[in-house]
Amino acid sequence: MARILVIDDDVQIRAMLRQMFEREGYEVVDAPDGKVAMRLHQEEPADLVITDLIMPEKEGIETIMELRQTSPDVKIIAISGGGRIEPETHLKVAKGLGAMRTFTKPIEPKELLSSVRELLA
């Protein structure tokens, strides 16, 4: 069973994604920021990481960079609702650093699930 790590500072988004992926049979672990996520990933590596980009403590861009150094084979999906800058700007940077798919919030669950299935196939 594939393990998915969901990183988002929004509790509701983490809960929604956890529920959706667990219903599909995936093992899901979640974290409120990149700092906690990296600790969890080191303890038990994920097959796929879904990370928000704008978060306190450690942002998604930093997390993607660290994941690429420590776990070059992990699949990464970046999500963003933006901040002071349009989300597309952040997502372009994330893609350049190794995110395989990017999504703007609000996320279309069917599209995200389809990408997860494809990346984990």
| Residue 98, domain extent | 3-120
Mean pLDDT on 5-13: 97
How high is the pLDDT of residue 85? Answer: 72
Tell me the C-alpha to C-alpha distance, in Å, between residue 38 and each of 92, 103, 121.
Answer: 22, 21, 24
**Rounded Cα distance, 41 and 5, in Å:** 8
Closest CA relative to residue 55, chosen from 18, 30, 73: 30
What's the half-sphere exposure (Cβ side, CA atoms, 13 Å) at 25?
A: 4
CATH number for the domain harbouring residue 73 = 3.40.50.2300
pTM of the model: 0.96
Structural domain count, the chain? 1
What's the half-sphere exposure (Cβ side, CA atoms, 13 Å) at 41?
A: 30
Query: Using one digit for the tens of pLDDT, what is the confidence trace for 81-119?
Result: 876 778 889 999 999 999 999 999 999 999 999 999 999
How high is the pLDDT of residue 39? Answer: 98
Q: What is the mean pLDDT of the chain?
A: 95
